[in-house]
């Protein structure tokens, strides 16, 4: 999400506890000795996604070991991608992995070949937020985790609440996120008392990730003073390189009341381009607003990120490494591994400002589905 430099730096100071408990986690700095027992060789398991795709999980029986992997057939090292979450595989690929731990010899290389060849433009993963129970239910806990607590910098005002949380000011009887009987994910900003706000920030971190493809979500946005809804991605490697080196792809951001023309924004952020350096505003056609249902998507391939609204054949913004030209020290981070997905509704902050007397609570962001397709 768009943040000023000062507040981006503040974000880093809380990222370890807010984005992933135990940031660093013994990641890329892992060292080994030249004697001692050997780390157990990584083991691969896979589960079916959709239309022939697989979700790959890598494990080792050595507690506390870090797993590093490659997808290009090369032998992995401690500088390869750190395994952080199950990831989507849609093509012919050989995954090689090693595991390392302090006081152990590195493992042997584990290897698994997947022969998939899923056609382009094929739906390979989705959460449709279906609900046939007759009551509101929890978002799928095998897909969605939560950031919790006070907003992560940006001068945001909300406390983020997990499902069924009663930690003050959260209220399990009035959840900030749920799948309704209408088949939509509801992300709700509430004002339980004067000057106190709660909301939700859902993420697939540690549970599901992917690299390259087309991702889209059909969303209806709140348009109220002080509301800041977003649909975005961060690199799994945030646990080792931290933000912003992990890269951030903001498929959708929107603040405050409707305008004419109404708009949303898509941006990218990384090392030395963390402010509003690289972002494009999309203006809706006359008569349309972000308060209506729209599909917001990203087409991601090696060296290229494009954003669209409603029509994937007509991106309104495309970014490549050449987009960083003229930004001193800027580094393209979007080819360094898999990313996880975030959906949230912030309250207040440096971009929208605070709610005021015109702001209606509760305010909600509705999500019909999140889908991933092959390119």
Hey, which residues are catalytic here? Answer: 248, 253
Q: 166 Cβ partners below 8 Å, 6+ apart? A: 172
CB atoms closer than 10 angstroms to residue 328: 7
Separation between Cα atoms, residue 303 and residue 45, nearest integer Å: 29
CA angle 91, 314, 144 (to 5 degrees): 55
Tally of CB atoms within 10 A around 40: 18
Residue 260: CB partners within 8 Å, gap ≥ 6?
Answer: none
Question: What is the C-alpha to C-alpha distance for residues 148 and 141, in angstroms, rounded to an integer?
Answer: 15
Query: Which residue blocks in 19-66 are alpha helix, DSSP H?
Result: none
Distances from the Cα of 224 to the Cαs of 177, 190, 196, 283, in angstroms?
Answer: 19, 13, 17, 18
**Cα–Cα distance, 154 to 230 (Å, whole number):** 14
**364 vs 177: CA distance, rounded Å:** 9
d(CA 27, CA 276): 30
Distance CA 269, CA 112 (A): 33
- Which residue reads 């731990």 in tokens? 101
Helix, strand, or coil (residue 343): strand
């Amino acid at each position: 999400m768009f943040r000023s430099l000062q507040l981006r730096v503040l974000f880093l100071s809380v990222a370890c506890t807010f984005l992933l408990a135990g940031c660093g986690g013994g990641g890329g700095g892992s060292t080994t000795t030249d004697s001692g027992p050997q780390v157990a060789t990584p083991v691969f398991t896979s589960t079916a996604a959709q239309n022939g795709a697989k979700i790959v999980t890598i494990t080792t029986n050595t507690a506390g070991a870090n797993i590093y992997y490659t997808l290009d057939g090369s032998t992995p090292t401690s500088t390869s991608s750190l395994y952080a979450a199950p990831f989507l595989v849609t093509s012919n690929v050989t995954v090689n992995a090693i595991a390392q731990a302090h006081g152990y010899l590195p493992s042997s290389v584990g290897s698994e070949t997947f022969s998939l060849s899923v056609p382009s433009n094929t739906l390979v993963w989705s959460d449709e937020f279906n609900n046939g129970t007759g009551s509101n239910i929890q978002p799928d806990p095998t897909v969605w985790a939560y950031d919790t607590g006070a907003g992560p910098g940006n001068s945001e005002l909300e406390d983020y609440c997990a499902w069924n949380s009663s930690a003050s000011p959260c209220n399990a009887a009035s959840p900030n996120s749920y799948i309704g009987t209408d088949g939509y994910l509801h992300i709700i900003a509430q004002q339980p008392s004067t000057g106190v706000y709660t909301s939700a920030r859902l993420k697939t971190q540690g549970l599901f990730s992917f690299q390259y493809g087309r991702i889209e979500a059909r969303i209806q946005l709140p348009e109220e003073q002080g509301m800041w809804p977003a649909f975005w991605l961060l690199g799994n490697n945030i646990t080792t390189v931290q933000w912003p080196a992990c890269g951030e792809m903001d498929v959708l951001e929107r603040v405050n009341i409707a305008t004419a023309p109404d708009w949303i924004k898509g941006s990218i952020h990384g090392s030395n381009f963390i402010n509003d350096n690289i972002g494009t505003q999309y203006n809706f056609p006359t008569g349309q607003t972000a308060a209506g249902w729209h599909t917001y998507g990203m087409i991601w391939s090696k060296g290229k990120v494009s954003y669209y609204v409603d029509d994937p054949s007509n991106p309104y913004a495309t970014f490549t490494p050449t987009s960083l030209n003229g930004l001193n020290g800027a580094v393209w981070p979007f080819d360094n591994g898999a990313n996880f997905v975030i959906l949230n509704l912030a309250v207040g902050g440096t971009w929208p400002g605070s709610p005021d007397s015109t702001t209606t609570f509760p305010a909600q962001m509705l999500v019909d589905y999140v889908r991933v397709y092959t390119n």
